[in-house]
Amino acid sequence: MKDEQNLIGNHLLAVLPAPEWARVAPHLVLVDMPLGKVVYESGDRQSHVFFPTTCIVSLLYVMEDGASAEIAIVGNGGLVGIALFMGGETTPSRAVVQSAGQAYRLDARIMKEEFHRAGPVQRLLLRYTQALITQMAQTAVCNRHHSIDQQLCRWLLLSIDRLPSNKLEMTQELIANMLGVRRSGVTEAALKLQDAGLIRYSHGHIEVLDRPGLEKRVCECYAVVKREFDRLLPDQTAL
């Protein structure tokens, strides 16, 4: 059973204790998550949560004029839809697939039942929510105080941490929308990283060539977020 969990590709599902996994597994549905798919809109009542395996979902705050900025990203270490079990049912953010792949979908009723058992699932989800809040707070700090180069490095590192490879499909326009900056700023920052041999960028495809180089160039925001995720979501023994 544990081998089956590990192969599923999502870290939260992989660390569930056997009894909880046995209850949840029959209700998981593997779905395709194409680039640009809107998982939920601002104010939507959420009917499912999603556990990404090979995709990345961006949580965005969208302004009245249509401008947007990313507040967090969710990949194979998390889930999309925390409002469902935190009691709010809806959220002012929007969730959009930023890197295509797949995810497991779980019905809202099943998720709520597991959360309200007040056992390992609840503790795991609360720990994950705390880590996600840290990412949101650090993103706000980073966007206010650090250069576009540093923001792009942070974004790239957080993204590949949540993917099974070091390659992303992402246009500069989409990255600019995520970071809430001008496209020209992203173009300039991406060229700097490419000239330094850290990434390869071509026609919407980004490949990270030198991860240690990115880590040397990034601001402290990446390490803060990674430390908190590692601290709060280590393994099954913490449940």
Segment 33-82, tens digit of pLDDT: 998 899 998 888 889 999 999 999 999 887 777 777 788 999 999 999 99
Distance separating alpha carbons of residues 46 and 88, to the nearest angstrom: 10
Tally of domains in the chain: 2
Do 7 and 86 sit in the same domain of this protein? yes
What pLDDT score was predicted for residue 2?
A: 53
- The model's pTM: 0.86
Identify whether 206 is part of a domain: yes
The domain spanning residue 187 has which CATH number?
1.10.10.10
pLDDT one-digit tens code per residue, 94-149 = 999 988 899 999 999 999 999 999 899 999 999 999 999 999 988 888 877 888 88
Distance separating alpha carbons of residues 154 and 148, to the nearest angstrom: 10
Given 80, 108, 142, which residue is the final one in a domain?
142
Do 116 and 77 sit in the same domain of this protein? yes
Do 56 and 123 sit in the same domain of this protein? yes
Identify whether 194 is part of a domain: yes
Token pair for 102: 């797949």
Identify whether 104 is part of a domain: yes
